[in-house]
Structure 1
Amino acid sequence: MNYRKTRAEINTAALKHNLRWVRAASGSASILGVVKADGYGHGIKPVCDALEHEVDAFAVGFTDEALALRAACPASKHSVLILEGCQTAEELKLCVDKNFSTVVHCLQQLELLEQASLKQPLDIWLKIDTGMHRLGIATDQADLFVKRLEASSNVASVTLMSHLANADTGLPLNHFQRQQYEAIKRTYPEHRRSLHNSAALLNPQLRGEPESKDWVRSGLLMYGVNPSELTEIQKELIPVMSLKAPIIAIHDLKKGDSVGYGSQWTAAADTRIATVAIGYADGYPRQCMNGTPTFVNGQRASLVGRVSMDMITIDITHIDDVAMGDDVELWGENIDVREVARCADTISWHLLTGTSVRVPRVVKG
C-alpha cells in the first residue's frame, strides 16, 4: 500500500495498440521490442507481459537487464537480445542457459565468443558502424567478422545490424548510413539484418519498406510517443505512461508574493497556487521552466516557481473547484511528454526512463 498518491499509471492496452501500429508500419519485418531501462521506465513486468504475444523477441541493454526480465517474466518464451553484448565468458554461458542472444561489436567480443566453451551455439547480432561511431566494427571489417562467426561452433546464426545517429531528423548522415546499409544487404543477401528503429520508420530518408529478413527495433513508438521531428503521427498513438500526483496544499498569494526556493517566480497579480506532491526526486525535472504545463480538472495549469525535491507549485487561479487531493497530470494523455521535455531542455526518453523508483507503477487496461 502507498499512502502517497503520486504514481505512474501504465496503460497496457495502449501499449498493445501502439505496437500494432508499429507492426502495420513494418511490412513483413519481425519486431524486436526494446525494453531496456526497465521498459523505458514503465516497468519491465507489465511491459513484457503485455507484449509477449505482440513482438517476436525482446531487447535490453546489458546482461543484468536480461536477467531481470527473466526473473520478472519467467513464462516468456521469447529470446532476449543483449544490445551491448557480453563482456565475460560467464555471460555467454548465461546466454545459453537463459535463451539470450547477444551483439558482437568489437574484436574482443568476437575472440571471447570463439574461445568460449558453450553447451550450444548462440544467435549473434554483428553490429557494423555505418557512421554513428559509438559501437560497431568498421564496414571494411565486416567480411572478416562474418567469416569467423560462421566458422565458429559457438554461433548458430548471424544477424547484421547498424544504428542510426540522426533517424529523428533530416541530417545528411542519414543518406550515407542508408547507403552503407544497402551495400551490406547486397553483400550478404542471405542474412537477417536490422537498421530501422522507431524514428527510422517515420523518416522519409530512411523509411523504405522493411522486408521479411529485417528486424525493426521498436522503442519509443510502442510507448506512445512520437520520436520524429519530421513526421507527426502522435494522434495515432496512445501514451502508455500517465504521471500523476495529488494536490496537497492550496494558497492564495497577493501581487508581489514569491513562491519556492530562490523566489524565482513572483505573482504579477493576486494568484491562487496549488502545491503538488511530486518533485525532482520522483523524476520530474528540476530544470522545468515557469510555464511548463500540467493538467488538472480538465484544464492546463502552469508550473510556477522552482521544482523542489518532493513538490512543485502550479497556478490554478483560472480553474474553478480545485480541491485538496485532486489529481494533477504531469505528462500522459493530456500533456504531451515531448512538450514537458522541451520545457526542461531535454528529451522524452530522459523523462520516461528517469521516472524514479519511488513512484509506484499502477497498471491499467
Structure 2
Amino acid sequence: MRPARAFIDLDALRHNYRLARELGGHKALAVVKADAYGHGAVRCARALEPEADGFGVACIEEALELREAGIRAPILLLEGFFQADELALIDRHDLWCVVQATWQIEAIERARLQRPLTVWLKLDSGMHRLGLAPDEYRACLQRLRALPQVREVVAMTHFSRADELDSHRTQEQLENFHRVIDGQGVGGSQMTASVANSAALLGWPAIRAQFARPGLMLYGATPFAAPHPLADRLRPVMTLESQVIAVRELGEGEPVGYGARFVTERPTRVGVVAIGYADGYPQFAPNGTPIWIDGQPGRVIGRVSMDMLTVDLDGHPEAGIGSRVELWGNHIRAGRLAERAATSAYRLLCGLKRVPRTYLGG
C-alpha cells in the first residue's frame, strides 16, 4: 500500500474546540464544512458531539451526511437553502438555516412545515458577500418573527478582515451590526447573536456573542501571518506523512526533477517521497521548504511532482527507504508551509486528496 497517510488527532480537535468556547464565552458552533476542512466531517462531528453546541456546514448535502451518520446535534446551513424545495428536507431533518435574501423569506412564508424553523438572519455589515442590507434588516426580522413557520431568529454577520489585526474594519463591522440589532430582542432581552469566526475569537477577544463559529482554529491552524499568543495554544489536528521510497546518489552539478529547478552543489543523497500535488501538497513549494525526516528537520529540493517529491538526505545519514517524512503537522505547521508555498492553511487542509486518514484519540 502507498505509504502516504494523514493522522487525525481527535484529542487535539477537542482541545481546540474547548479553547474556542472559552474565548467566545458562551456557545460555539463547530464548523465542519468541506469535510471538516479535509479532516473528515463525520468522524470529527462524532468526536465533538458530546460537548459541541452544534455544527456548521455549507449546504444541505453536508448536513444530510451528518444526519445519516447519526449526528443529532443542531446543524446550521451556513449558506442557507438554494431552492425553496429544500425546505422540506430542512424540516424533515430538523436543521437550522441561514437566511440572507428576501426571496428566502418569501419561500418560508409559502412553506408548509411540520415544525417551526430556527433561522439565522444574516446582516451584511460590510463584507458585501451575502446578507441583508442594514436598511432592510429590521423589516425582514419582524416579518420572520410574525410567521408561524419560525421558532427563533438569531442575528449573524461575518467579518471580512478579522485576520488583519491592524485593520479597523472589524470594529467598523461590529458597530454596524450593533447599530442594526440593538434593541431588537424580544421582551427587552438581548437578541441572540453570532459574529465571531476563528480570527475574531483569537484576535479580537473583546468581541463576544452567544454563538461563536470556529472553523480553521478547530483544526489547529492559525489565521494570522505572525505568531499570536492565543493561536499558539492551538494543537495541530492533522499530521500528513509519507515515506522515502527510493534513494539516489548524485554527484555535483546534477539536476533533480522536472525543469532542473534544483541542481546539486556537491555530492548529494536524494530521497524520493511518495506524495505529491495530486495528494494536496503544494506543487510550487520552493527549494528549501521544511519537512521532517525521521524526527529531524529536512528540506524539499526540486519541483513537486503529481505523485512524488524529493528531499535532501544530506545530514540524515541513517535515513533511507522507509524513512518517515512529515509534510505538515506537529513539527511543520500548516501555516508555515502555506507561507513558504504562497498559499493558505485553508487551501492546504481542504485540498487533501487521495490520502487515507487514520484517527487517533477515539
| Mean CA deviation greater in 18-27 or 76-85 | 18-27
- Find out whether 1:355 has 2:352 as its counterpart: yes
- Find out whether 1:182 has 2:205 as its counterpart: no
**Is the 2:200–2:207 contact (alpha carbons within 8 Å) kept by the matching residues of 1?**
no
- Find out whether 1:208 has 2:206 as its counterpart: yes
* Partner SS for 1:323: coil
Amino acid at match of 2:75: V
Residue 94 of structure 2: aligned partner: 99
CA distance in 2, matches of 1:229, 1:153: 47
CA distance in 1, matches of 2:127, 2:249: 53
The alignment-based identity, stated in percent, is: 40
| Mean CA deviation greater in 232-241 or 34-43 | 232-241
Aligned residue among 146, 151, 156 for 1:161: 156
* Partner SS for 1:46: helix
Residue 10 of structure 1: aligned partner: 8
Shift of 1:116: 1.4
Shift of 1:252: 1.3
Equivalence map 1:247-266=2 (5 Å):
247-266=244-263
Query: C-alpha offsets along residues 108-128 of structure 1, whole Å, 9 cap, x if unaligned?
Result: 211111111212111000010
Residue 227 of structure 1: aligned partner: 223
Amino acid at match of 2:128: H
**Is the 1:226–1:233 contact (alpha carbons within 8 Å) kept by the matching residues of 2?**
no
**Is the 2:23–2:205 contact (alpha carbons within 8 Å) kept by the matching residues of 1?**
no
Shift of 1:234: 4.1
- Find out whether 1:119 has 2:124 as its counterpart: no
Equivalence map 1:1-365=2 (5 Å):
3-27=1-25, 29-71=26-68, 73-74=69-70, 76-169=71-164, 170-189=166-185, 190-203=190-203, 206-208=204-206, 210-211=208-209, 214-229=210-225, 231-356=228-353, 358-365=354-361
Instruction: Give structure 2 stretches of 5+ with no counterpart.
Output: none
Amino acid at match of 2:344: I
* Partner SS for 2:205: coil
CA distance in 2, matches of 1:339, 1:348: 8
Query: C-alpha offsets along residues 255-292 of structure 1, whole Å, 9 cap, x if unaligned?
Result: 10011111111111111110000001101111211111
Amino acid at match of 1:329: E
* Partner SS for 1:248: strand
Amino acid at match of 1:226: T
Amino acid at match of 2:117: L
Shift of 1:155: 0.9
Shift of 1:178: 1.5
CA distance in 1, matches of 2:316, 2:167: 43
Instruction: Give structure 1 stretches of 5+ with no counterpart.
Output: none
TM-score under structure 2 normalisation?
0.95
Amino acid at match of 1:281: A
**Is the 2:138–2:180 contact (alpha carbons within 8 Å) kept by the matching residues of 1?**
no
CA RMSD of aligned residues (A): 1.3
Amino acid at match of 2:294: N
After TM superposition, the runs of 4+ consecutive aligned structure 1 residues lying more than 4 A away are none
CA distance in 2, matches of 1:364, 1:183: 46
CA distance in 2, matches of 1:246, 1:99: 45
Amino acid at match of 2:58: G
Shift of 1:233: 3.2
Shift of 1:185: 4.0
**Is the 2:239–2:329 contact (alpha carbons within 8 Å) kept by the matching residues of 1?**
yes
* Partner SS for 2:339: helix
Shift of 1:46: 1.5
Amino acid at match of 1:171: S
